[in-house]
Structure formats: C-alpha cells, structure tokens
Structure 1
Amino acid sequence: MSEATKSTATKRDLRLDLFRGMANWAIFLDHIPNNAVAWLTMRNYGFSDAAELFVYVSGFTVAFVYARMMRAKGLLAAAIGILGRVWQIYVAYVLLFVFYVVAVGYVGQVDGHAHLLDQYNIRRLIADPVEFLKHGLLLEYRPLNLDVLPLYIALMAPFPPVLWLLTKSPNVALAGSFILYIVARWLGWNLTDYPSGSWYFNPFAWQFLFVIGAWTAIVDRDALQKILRSRIIMALAVAIVAVSAIVTVALRTGNDWLLPETFRLAFSLNDKTNLAPYRIVHFLALAIIVARLIPRDAPSLNWPVWRPLIVSGQHSLEVFCVGTFLAAIAYFALHLINDSFAAQIFVSVVGIAGMVAVAYFRTWVKSRSLAV
C-alpha cells in the first residue's frame, strides 16, 4: 500500500456515515406497518435491505477503528475498547427495551387495544414480568422490532480474536467466517429464544456479512480498487441489481406470475433469518456500484443536503434507538387515530426530524464537552 493510500485510509470516510444514516432512516420507515412512505426504502427494489447495510457498515467501522488501536496499543487495548462498546450498546438496548415495553403496554391496555400486546410480543411479559425481564436482559426474549441491537452485541462480543486474525491474515479470517456461515445454514445452527423459537437474525449467518465489512476495511485498498475498476465486475454487478429489482418488485406487488417458475422457487423474500446467499450477492453488487460511482473523496459528500444523513450516521446508536421507539409511536398514531396517506407522510417526516434532532443534539453536546 502506498503512503498516499495509507493517508487516505486513515481519514474518515463520509460515505460510511451517509449510508449508516440512510440505514437508520430506512429501518425507521420499514418498522411502521402499512406505511406507504416505506416504498422509498431499498427493501422494495432488491433482495437485501437496510439490515445488510447496517451490519456491513458496522463491521467495516469496527475493524477500521479498532485495527488502528490494536496496531498502536496492542490487542488487549483493542479488545477492551470493543467490549466497552458492547457494554454501551447493551445499556442502550436495556433502556430502549424498558421505554418500548412501557409505551406499548400503556397503549395496549387502554381503550380496548389489547391486540397490540400480541402484535408486539409483550403480553406474556406483562403476565409474568420477572421471568420475561430476566430473559430479556439475557437477550433471549425480545419484543417486536428489537432484534438488531442484540445481533450487533452478538457479533461484536467475540470479535477481538477475529480482528487479530484479520490483521494477520485477512483472507484466512474471511474463509473461516464463510465456512461458519455455510455450516450454520446446513446444520440449522441458531441461538434460541425464550420461551420458544430462535433469533430472527441468526448471528451464525449474519457474522459473515459483518466480517466481509471488516475484511474490506483491513485488506489492501489498491486491490479493492482493481476490482472496482473492472468492467466485467461492474457489468455483472449492474446485471445482478437489475434482475433483483425486477424479481423483488414482481413479488412485492403480487405480479409474480410474470416471473418464470425458476425465479419464484429460487428467491424468497422471507429468507432473512439465515441471510440467504442471494441477499449477500445483491448487497455486494450494490456496494460495488455505489463505491464506483461515489468515491470517498467525492465533493458531493460535502453538500449540505446530505448533512442530516451524515450526522445521523455519526450518532448511529442513539438515532437507531430513538427511531425504533418513534416507529412504534408512529404506528399507534396511524392505527388508532388516522391512517390516511397524508398522515403516513406526516408521521414519517416527524419521526425522521426527531431522529435528526437527536443526532444534532449529540453533536452539540460532544462539541461542548471538547471545548471545556
């Protein structure tokens, strides 16, 4: 790697913040049932969605930050930093869990809306709070839509030895992750839920995309640039994205009769738990196109119009937690008060505005603390 490449690699890549912010906004919109505004998100036009984007960018960011720390201060310091971040995420999850359950429980128990207790999977918690809270703290029980942060914790907690191997032999680490992915899908490995079932996001499968992101941050950038500059790779990526869009739109709009039977049998929009291979392929194809069209030094990244997304990505944990909570509140407003198209636009805009406000507030607090 050249000195110029090393210098570039150490600078903050605004694309990561931009797309992590975009993932947070999309997750918020997708978590509001029957929300027409959610048709703007990527899940409706391809096999992968904001979850893949969030996990990939998280893997890249963790490796980018802590690999530098490991080289400067050693593996122990990097491991402590990673586990410290895991603890922060866990505390944020517990707070989100409490506020979320209280809000859903309150709305569900007033004015005859008890069906929401079943819809958000908290009726049994209310009936036996001690037992379910215990399993909630152990990440074995989760209300609806609270699956992403436990997945993030499960991916980050064992990451220090993976990071060490990535810095020593990145291709070996990637191969090991791929083998675990294949074996987990083949043998049906997953973590169990309480009182029954398994995790919605299987960490044994999703770790592969997390490690791919980390591998991208570690591997030689010159080698990656050769891939991005390949006309064959680019043409293949465009073809994959185009076919994925056609199939997904047909399936989501109920026009799957337009597709050959082979496509209808091969692709399922529900195979998200175990991260179907075609979801990974689609996401990587999309990432290749975006990386080619938007280089890390693109002047457009500094345009003011992207600033709310970038700031949202820079404070991803806080924004995600607030967005998850606001998505439930937005659904209650649509479900119980007014579900018109205008109301869907209103709650979507207000929710995103709330997420952006939290992100800017965190930026202000951080700047004030640095100034003191």
Structure 2
Amino acid sequence: MWQKKIESAGFRSISAFRNVKKPLEPNIDQDEEVLILTDTEHDPAVWKLIAAAVRDLGAHPIISMFEAREMDYYDPPSSVGQQMKDVDMVITCTTTAMLHSPAGEAAMESGVPIIAMDGGLTIDMLTNGAATADYNEVERLEYEIGKRVFEGGSEAHLTSEHGTDLTLSVEDRVFLYREPDPDDQPLELYEKRPGFHAVVFPRGEFNVPPNPSTADGTIVFDTTMHHLGRLEEPIELTIESGTITDIDGGYQARELERVLAEYGDEDAYRMPTEFSVGANPDARVTGCQREDKNMLGCIHIGLGTNADVGGEVHSKLHMDGVIARPTLKIDGDVMIDEGEITVLD
C-alpha cells in the first residue's frame, strides 16, 4: 500500500523513495519500532517518504513532531528525548541538526542507533546529488582520504583563492574509518568511535578533530555555513591559538557574530574543532550543509563542540563552514590542489 502511494506520485517521488531506502535497508529489521523525529518547519513530504520506506521494510514508523529548535544541536522536548531511548531505531528528519544533541548522544549511549537525515533535507536532495551516489565508492573514498591525505601527517597548511591561510596540527588526531569491503552493503551501522552508533545520509566526508590550540591564521568560508545557508559573500575569520578573534564580511558575518553571542558560550569560539574533506562525487551546492559539505575535494571546518567527532571541546554550538576549492599541504606535500585530491587513484 505504501509503495503504491509513492508510485502514484510520479517519477520524482519514486527516485526519492529508492534513495531514502539506501541507509534504511541495511539497518532496519522487520517489526522494529522506528521513531522519526521532525519539526513544524520541515517539509512534511520528506518525513512521509521516510515513514513509507520504513513501513515498506516491514517495520513500524512512529512520528514525533515538535516545534523547530532555534539552533543546531539543541534538544527536542524532554519527553521526546526519553522516547528516543525506548525504541529500536531513531531517524532524525529535523530542520536543525540533532544527531549530536545531548538527547541524541544519550540515545546512542543507551544502545539505540540513529540514522541522521537532519539539517533541512529536501525532496530535491533525495532525488538528485549526493543521495544518488554509489555509496560503495563513497566509503572507499572516505577511507582513502583518511589513509592517503592524513595518516601519519603532522602539520597542515590550508589556503584558498579567497584568502584562507591557516596552519594547524593533525598529529595523532587521525582515526581511520573501517576499511570497506566492496562485497558488503554500504551505509551499514558500525561503531566508528566509542558510543557513536549512527549513519548519516546523504554523506561523504573524512573528518579529523584537531587540537584547536595549534591553529593560527585566517579561514575564509566561500560556499555554505550552518544556520546561514548559501553564502552571498565570503566570511573571514581570524584565528589565534585556536580561538576566533575577529569576524569580517557582510550581513551574514554579522549574523554569525550574533548567533555566537546569543546562543554560544566561550568554547563556541574555539576553531578549528573539525577539519573534514568531502568524499562524495555527486554532492553539489544546495545551500544546505547536509549535502554541500560532502562535495568531493571541498573542506569544511567546524567551530565549537568536537566531542562528537573524537575531540575534547564541549560547547552549546557546533557550526561548519565550507571552502569549495581548497589547497591543502600536509608536512609540505600537496594533497589537495584547488579542490582536486591529488593523491587518489
């Protein structure tokens, strides 16, 4: 019945339906209770599509809708947080990123895995771009980027056409993903780090949680940033010993200053706390971080919390910004040249 409803909606929905099942099929068993989180600002077509896919797999979708949160990483209502620990699986389909909210972390710690499709996922993003990728290839690229770009490296030097010029240390901060087996089904849940029982979709990145105190220089975001969406002009951040000391640019730079002052804390100004290279050849610029930060060869850099990616910084905020065509040297060797990863086959 559910699949017939999808088919009657036309080719666009059928394509989205097939893609949304990619992270569900390897991870959801028949008769499981699957809690789908969504909010009042999210397109209902997306969570309805996810619910249809869950039902098509023989599991039982439960929809929990609440008022949209003000910022990424903010918790759902406390009753929903409790419910997240009482089901077999959680799927986040919210306007804001919720995987690494305290409630998300508590659910994973209790043994409930999460499939994260949060951060403003759209039907277009399920029909085109990153969601359409061959995820065996994406997982191969994630592993190869970790091994060939970062493993054994110490000093990173990042530059870009818009003025980025940043040095930082990645020494002893590289944690390789599991080496993929081409015969395995991609997007299968496994514990990347202790307590991290999650799959993100769409995806495609290799991330490093650097020690931010080793970083100095300038970061210029030129593509997209959490909360701000597509950048109309670059945002320049001055970094001294891993702390943001100045933010320059247009009205979106002023909005970033406001968000940090109003919603952040002292550690929200720590940067970079995440340093990631995109690994999805089909990802494109949409204005939504769920897709944009996965573009092959781009780099996204985070501020604030990095405990969720293996670091030690705890903050009320985490925000990523994207540099589309970076050049990255590790210990003097060029690994990425204007967005092209030179060390991949």
- Higher RCO structure (Cα 8 Å, ≥6 apart): 1
Identify whether the pair has TM-score above 0.5, normalized to the shorter chain: no
If the TM-score is normalised by the length of the shorter chain, which range does it land in? under 0.3
Name which one, 1 or 2, has greater alpha-carbon Rg. Answer: 1
Tell me which protein shows more helix as a share of its residues: 1
